Structure 1
Amino acid sequence: AHAKAFAKHNTSADAHANIFEKVQSIAAAHMYNFYYRSGQFHTDAATRTALVSPTYILVNVGGNGYESKAAITLDISKDAAWDTAAQEWQASHAYAVGDVVYPTSGHTTYYYRCITAGTSSTLTPSFPTTLGSTYNDGNVVWECQLDYTQAVNRKGKDYYVYACADGDALKLVVSPNSTVPTKYTADSSRKIGGFHCLCADVGTISGHALSGYVAGDILPASVWDLKFRATSENEGMVWDGSQWVDIYLDSWNGSSLVSAYGGVVADGDSTKPFHGELFVEEFAKVKKHLISRDQYVAFAKGSNEKTNIKGSADANTTGGHVDTAGRRMISNIGCEDCCGWMWQWTSDISGHPNVSTSNSDMPGGGGQTSSSEGDHWLNGYGWQNDGRSVANINIDGSTNIYGHSYGALSRAIIGGRWGDGSSCGSRSVALADLSSSRDGGFAGRGASEPRAAIL
């Protein structure tokens, strides 16, 4: 009898279990930042365009608690997944501001968003195909915007998952907006996750984790949520199993380093020139750090080996490249251009306190020997105390403003450059360059620690 009573007490239908669930819901309703889920968001490998939620979510949105008790599939190739909830245009139909339609002929590259409410015409519209242009339809005014169900519009971009209040129910939507989704407000929505879409077709690569993926597909390793994310912002990053890593070599957006598709790579010759020391400082401002050589060896796997970029020249902008054999330059987790385009600065440093022989060199780019010059080639080098390995006059304005380096500070670079051919690869490393070297073939890639534990 005791065993039966115990078993009954522990069934999911027991009143105690129901009370506990109710207490959870009450907590969610009154704790502004409350967010719980039974597992992680993940991609659907069969479609590669679908994101699948955990089977249970309990979340506070605008001060109220909402829950979902079943997995939700968000297929970003379908209208229903998006905050726009676009529908086919209808004649003589009353439209409100924010309504979104697509032509009766079917999806094109563009959506049309109502910016002036009214009733549509009886005539089929000749919608414009210039982004941002407007069209008068009856007394409705439409604005031309991108249709994100189309893969061409998704490639190389980040998207966000929002928990939204839909009456008394919880609705999940995907949006390109980083703050508030279309048709919702800050009080009726809450950003709980996101992901990045592949920038270019991978093609068929035997044994590669992303073989067959095409531009606009969700990168599985880029999926994040409030309980599984980076200390930095997550845009343009993938999870390598221990940290978040930038997908792209970083570019300068005018105020900070970013991992973005099509960005002009930041290097020693970019508009804002960089050396190893400056990458350290600027990454710290966005809560990132330079990758380590050991981490790189792991996350670069799947990349092209012993080849460099097609054309054997500086590509200038990030992502989507192929090597001299026509193979995509992408790792198994989705990191672009790991090998054979730019050497990449790492967090690995070493000191050379006493290089005294006349034929010992510490190369830095141009054969200069004076501390007043920008690059460093230190012949007959002895004991440096003028700051040349921690500062560069062409980048920092002086070699004597950030302290001295008693010994030559070198920083490891990895991966190989555009003309290095068979010397490039996931284990390629050079150890002879000063951290302050200014070189147009040296770039940077950021990494960030996890902000919250994986649940």
Structure 2
Amino acid sequence: MGFLNRLPARQDGYYNRNRMWKNKGSDTAANRRTLVSPSHMLVNIGGAGAHAYELEASVELDLNTASNWDTTIPTNYAVAANRAGKDFYIYACVPVSGYVPVIILSAATTYPAGYTAANSRKIGCFHCECADVGTISGHPLTGYLAGDIIPRSIQDLKHRPYGRFLPGFAWGGPTDFDSLNYAPLWASIYHLS
């Protein structure tokens, strides 16, 4: 969209998006493990000034694809069993050229491998299912497998508990995420089960 559209993101700490991050759906195994970005996002990476980046189309990140992760050593998180019951972070990173941020998944809480605090920014997190759910009549997680994304665990800088990332927490509000006008109802995932 150009420079004028990115202008607000020149402010230190700026982050905005048109809708929540989410998993692709619950109808197939591939959708349950695919993280979908907002279709429009502005983010400041690196501080005030010319550090504005813009995502103009949704990005789909299949957790089973190694290139979506910062590293596969020492643990390859593209393998579902290695993700079971763990928290992961979403980073927006400075691209080699242009203004479209590189979106990277990582287990690192500070910054992803190959990047620094100056050229990356933690913008979200999510938790993966610890075990196969099986079939539970009427339950929204029926069919989920160990290593799949728990949909209501997805957090970002605008939707997170108590103004910070709390890994292992899930949204307990009465609606899904696209229109949130409710109190911040977050609870520990394993306390809920």
User: SS state of the match for residue 54, structure 2?
Assistant: strand
1:112-140: per-residue Cα shift (whole Å, max 9, x none)?
4xxxxxxxxxxxxxxxxxxxxxxxxxxxx
Residue 114 of structure 2 is matched in structure 1 by 183
Q: 1:68 aligns with which of 50, 55, 61?
A: 55
User: SS state of the match for residue 81, structure 2?
Assistant: helix
Deviation of 1:22 after TM superposition, in Å, equals 3.3
Deviation of 1:234 after TM superposition, in Å, equals 1.7
1:167-212: per-residue Cα shift (whole Å, max 9, x none)?
2231111000011111101011000001000111111112111111
Q: 2:155 aligns with which of 214, 220, 224?
A: 224
Residues 233 and 28 (structure 1), Cα distance of their counterparts in 2 relative to 1, 3 Å cut: closer
- Aligned counterparts of 1:55 and 1:49: Cα–Cα separation in 2: 18
User: SS state of the match for residue 177, structure 1?
Assistant: coil
Residue 152 of structure 1 is matched in structure 2 by 81
Aligned residues: 173
Residue 56 of structure 1 is matched in structure 2 by 40
Residue 162 of structure 1 is matched in structure 2 by 91
TM-score by length of 1: 0.37
Structure 2 letter corresponding to 1:246 = S
Structure 2 letter corresponding to 1:226 = L
1:201 aligns with 2:132: yes
1:322-363: per-residue Cα shift (whole Å, max 9, x none)?
xxxxxxxxxxxxx32xxxxxxxxxxxxxxxxxxxxxxxxxxx
1:212-245: per-residue Cα shift (whole Å, max 9, x none)?
1011100001001000011054211000114011
Residue 236 of structure 1 is matched in structure 2 by 168
- Aligned counterparts of 1:206 and 1:230: Cα–Cα separation in 2: 29
- Greater relative contact order, per chain length (Cα 8 Å cut-off, separation 6+): 2
Give the 4+ runs in structure 1 shifted more than 6 A.
none
Q: Tell me the C-alpha RMSD between the 2 structures.
A: 1.5
Residue 28 of structure 1 is matched in structure 2 by 9
The structure with more radius of gyration: 1
TM-score by length of 2: 0.85
- Aligned counterparts of 1:221 and 1:26: Cα–Cα separation in 2: 32
1:54-80: per-residue Cα shift (whole Å, max 9, x none)?
110111001300101000001111112
- Aligned counterparts of 1:233 and 1:35: Cα–Cα separation in 2: 15
Residue 180 of structure 2 is matched in structure 1 by none
- Aligned counterparts of 1:22 and 1:188: Cα–Cα separation in 2: 20
Alignment of 1:121-132 (within 5 A): none
- Aligned counterparts of 1:236 and 1:79: Cα–Cα separation in 2: 23
User: SS state of the match for residue 16, structure 2?
Assistant: strand
Contact 2:66/2:76 (8 A) holds in 1: no
Alignment of 1:215-364 (within 5 A): 215-231=146-162, 233-241=165-173, 242=183, 243-249=185-191, 335-336=192-193
Aligned identity (percent) is 43
Deviation of 1:247 after TM superposition, in Å, equals 1.1
- Aligned counterparts of 1:44 and 1:174: Cα–Cα separation in 2: 16
